[in-house]
Amino acid sequence: MRGNLVCAFAVIRLLSTAIPVGAHHSFAAEYDKNKPVTIKGVVTSMKWSNPHAWLYLDVKDADGTIAHWSFELGGVNGLYRQGWRKEDLQAGTALAVEGFLSRTDPHVGNSQNITLTDGRRLFSGSPAPK
C-alpha cells in the first residue's frame, strides 16, 4: 500500500504537466483568481464521484473551532489515469491544500496541489491557473 502510494505520487507529479485535464465547466466562473488559499487540515473523507471528486477536510481555527471544508478535484477519470487510487487519501491524513476559493462559499475551494506532512505533493487534476 505504502509502495503504491509513493508510486502514485511519482506518476502524478510526472504527468501533471503532460496531460491536459478536461473540465465540463468554467473554472474561472466558479472560483476566484483573487482568492488563493492554503488550508491545513485533516481528511474526513474523499468522494470519488462524477464529474469531480471532492476532498473533505476538518480545519481547526485558532480558537479551536472546527470548520468543514470541501475541495473540488479533477474528474474521477482524470485522477485515475494520473495514478490516483481510492486508497490514496485515507480519513485522518493530515495535509495542506493549495487552491482557490469559491466565488460564493467561504468553505469551498478548488484544489490545485496537495502537500502531505512529509512534504510530498500531489497534483489535484484541476485546470492549472496561470
Partner 1 sequence: MRARTARSLLPLAAVLAALLSLTPAVAAAQTPTAAATSPIRRMADGKPDLQGYFNPQAPGANFGLEVHTAEFGIPAGKGFIVDPSDGKLPMQEWAKAEKQSRVRPERGYDDPAAHCFPNGLPRSMYTGGFQILQPPGYVVLLFQGDTGPSYRIIALDGRPHAPERVHLWQGDSVGHWEGDTLVVETTNLNGKAWLNQAGEIVSYQEKVVERLTPIDGNTINYRATITDPVVYTRPWSIAYSLTRSQDELLEVACREDNDDLEHLKQVKEAAAKDASAQPGRQGR
75 binds partner 1 per the rule CB under 8 A: yes
Which residue do the cell numbers 505533493 mark? 121
Q: Are 35 and 101 contacting, i.e. CB atoms less than 8 angstroms apart?
A: yes
76 binds partner 1 per the rule CB under 8 A: yes
125 binds partner 1 per the rule CB under 8 A: no
Q: In terms of CB distance, is 4 or 117 closer to partner 1?
A: 4
| Residue 42, φ and ψ in degrees, nearest 5 | -120, 135
Please identify, among the stretches 26-34, 37-45, 58-66, 89-97, the one whose residues bind partner 1 according to the rule CB under 8 A: 26-34
Strand 66-72 and strand 108-116: pairing? parallel
Q: Which of 81, 72, 70 is nearest to 21 (CA)?
A: 81
Closest separation in Å from C-beta 29 to partner 1: 2
**Assign residue 12 a region: left if phi > 0, alpha if psi is -120 to 50, beta otherwise?**
alpha
115 binds partner 1 per the rule CB under 8 A: no
Q: How far apart are CA 28 and CA 25, in angstroms?
A: 9
Number of residues in contact with partner 1, rule: CB under 8 A?
35
Among 80, 93, 116, 120, binds partner 1 (CB under 8 A): 80
Residues at the contact surface with partner 1, assessed by CB under 8 A: 11, 20, 22-31, 33, 47, 49-52, 54, 72, 75-77, 80-81, 83, 102-105, 108, 127-130
